[in-house]
Structure 1
Amino acid sequence: MIIDGMALLFRGFYATSYSGYIMKTSKGVPTNAIYGFVKYMQDAIRTFQPTHVLCCWDMGAKTFRNELFPAYKANRGEPPEELIPQFDLVKKVVDSFNIPNIGVEGYEADDCIGTIAKKYSDQLQIQILTGDRDTLQLVTEAVQPIIMKKGMSNYEVYTPEKLLEEKGLTPAQFIDLKGLMGDPSDNFPGVKGVGEKTAIKLLTQYESIAGILENLPNLSKGIRNKIETELDMLHLSRKLAEIHCEVPVEIELDKCIRNMEEEKIIAMLQELEFERLLKDGSFIEGLKVNVEPLV
């Protein structure tokens, strides 16, 4: 299981702060995002019982995508003040679970996730724990994103069949979809005036962006003009949308084997003053290995 660290941390923050109350230690250190993070992580481990676990992180705001398109993610504001000190602390927490933290400057966590998934999917079944549907482009029979839905223990596991049934698209077409329609959350526009419905219709008919461009004369005048006007942005948006699976990242697979030590976890929970989890016997129990690791 590859954990999308930022996805879990932000989800944990907003799930525990919507009322305006922020959990803090007796020393005033905010911990609400970390509390949510460890609960989500434990629940997924208990549910899916992975033999190996690692956690991938973004390493700063700027990546190669900002060099390609300076406005990339420029629409995002600063993170909440109470979340900032939890960015470093959560990695210490992950360490206490004997789970490796992985990240490479200049790349997003998704790029590390994609690279590792691609490299090791011939040895292990890979599951990606995230709330980010961008990972649907990574779907294969051996790579299955687990999309976290609202609430605890609410997951959607994607296979090629599931993606085709739900979207009518292959994983490769999912990249072209984002190239055509853009992504407001990442602040790149795609082709102005082409929404999801039109993009899916075009991809269903012509299979890919390349196929659409080969058949421009067959398109309606309005759609053809939009694409021709935004041709450069179409190609750039597709490049921005595609997860880069050639990141210079190395992992030691044997260090990812799930081997959590109860004493280390309890000591960390005590440091964070997570009394509720310490009293909950099922929390530690849910982390214990009940499958044989594959090396």
Structure 2
Amino acid sequence: MLVDGMALLFRGYYATAYRGYIMKTSAGVPTNAIYGFVKYMWDAIQTFEPSHVICCWDMGSKTFRTELYDQYKANRGAPPEELVPQFDLVKEVVSSFDIPNIGIEQFEADDCIGSLAKRYSAEMHVQILTGDHDSLQLVTDRVHSIIMKKGMSNYEVYTPEKLLEEKGLTPAQMIDLKGLMGDTSDNFPGVKGIGEKTAIKLLKEYATIEAIIENLEKLPKGMRTKIESELDMLHLSRQLAEIRCDVPIECVVEDALLTIDAGKVRKQFETLEFNKLLKEMGIH
């Protein structure tokens, strides 16, 4: 199981912070995001029973994508103040489970997940735990995406068949879909005036962006004009949308074998005053 660390951490933070309640230790260290993170990760481990687990992280806002397009994710504000000290602390918690933390400068967690999924799926079944639909482009017969939905223990597992049934598209076409319609959360525009419905219709008919461009003269004049005037942005948006699967990561699969040392976890949890969670997880 490849865990999208940031997705779980932010989800853990907002699950409690929206009520204005930030859990803190007696020393005043905020821990609500970590608490939520552990609950989500542990629930997924209990539900899907992976033999190996790796947690992947973003390493700051500067990546090869921001070099390609300086407005990439520029719409995102600074993280909430109470969340900042939890970024490093959560990695210590992950380490206490003997789960490797992976993050590579200039790349996003998604690129690490894509690269590890490609590498490990040659020899084993891979599950990606995330809240992010971008991961659907990585789905194969050996790589499934577990999308976390609202609440605990609420998952949607995507296989190539499930994706085809729901969207009518293949995993590879999910990249072209984002290229055409853009992505408001990552702040790149795609082709102005082309939304999801139109993009899916075009891809069902022509399969790829390349084939759409080759058949521009067959498109209605308005649509053709939109694409022709945004060709550069279309290609750039597709490049930004594609998860890299060639990131040089040093991680031996044996290091990811899930063997929990209760003593290590207990010590870490006692520091964070997660006594109730220890009981809930059955760690003595």
What stretches of structure 2 of length at least 5 have no aligned partner? none
Asked if 2 retains the 8 angstrom alpha-carbon contact of 1:180 and 1:237, the reply is yes
Asked if 2 retains the 8 angstrom alpha-carbon contact of 1:56 and 1:113, the reply is yes
| 4+ long deviations beyond 2 Å | 282-285
Partner deviation per Cα, 1:177-229 (whole Å, 9 max, x = no partner) = 00000000000000000000000000000001011011100000000000000
What stretches of structure 1 of length at least 5 have no aligned partner? 286-295
Q: Does 1:237 align with 2:237?
A: yes
Q: How does 1:18-29 map to 2 (within 5 A)?
A: 18-29=18-29
Return the letter of the residue paired with 2:275.
Answer: E
Compare 132-141 and 245-254 and name the one that shifted more: 245-254
Tell me the residue number matched to 1:291: none
Find the residue that maps to 1:128 and give its secondary structure: strand
Cα distance in structure 1, aligned partners of 2:278 and 2:143? 34
Tell me the residue number matched to 1:292: none
Find the residue that maps to 1:284 and give its secondary structure: coil
Return the letter of the residue paired with 2:181.
Answer: M
Q: Percent of counterpart pairs with the same letter?
A: 70
Return the letter of the residue paired with 2:48.
Answer: F
Tell me the residue number matched to 1:80: 80
TM-score of the superposed pair, with normalisation by structure 2:
0.99
Cα distance in structure 1, aligned partners of 2:278 and 2:132? 30
Return the letter of the residue paired with 1:124.
Answer: M
Tell me the residue number matched to 1:293: none
Asked if 2 retains the 8 angstrom alpha-carbon contact of 1:42 and 1:283, the reply is no
Cα distance in structure 2, aligned partners of 1:284 and 1:8? 21
Tell me the residue number matched to 1:158: 158
Partner deviation per Cα, 1:140-193 (whole Å, 9 max, x = no partner) = 000001000000000001000000000000001000000000000000000000
Deviation at 1:283, TM superposition (A): 4.3
Tell me the residue number matched to 2:283: 284
Cα distance in structure 1, aligned partners of 2:218 and 2:54? 48
Deviation at 1:261, TM superposition (A): 0.7
Cα distance in structure 1, aligned partners of 2:283 and 2:190? 46
Q: How does 1:1-295 map to 2 (within 5 A)?
A: 1-280=1-280, 282-284=281-283
Partner deviation per Cα, 1:218-254 (whole Å, 9 max, x = no partner) = 0000000000000000000000000011111121111
Cα distance in structure 2, aligned partners of 1:136 and 1:283? 34
Corresponding residue pairs, total: 284
Return the letter of the residue paired with 1:155.
Answer: Y
Deviation at 1:278, TM superposition (A): 2.5
Cα distance in structure 2, aligned partners of 1:215 and 1:278? 60
Cα distance in structure 1, aligned partners of 2:282 and 2:87? 23
Cα distance in structure 1, aligned partners of 2:33 and 2:125? 29
State the superposition RMSD in angstroms.
Answer: 0.9
Cα distance in structure 2, aligned partners of 1:248 and 1:275? 39
Cα distance in structure 2, aligned partners of 1:40 and 1:124? 23
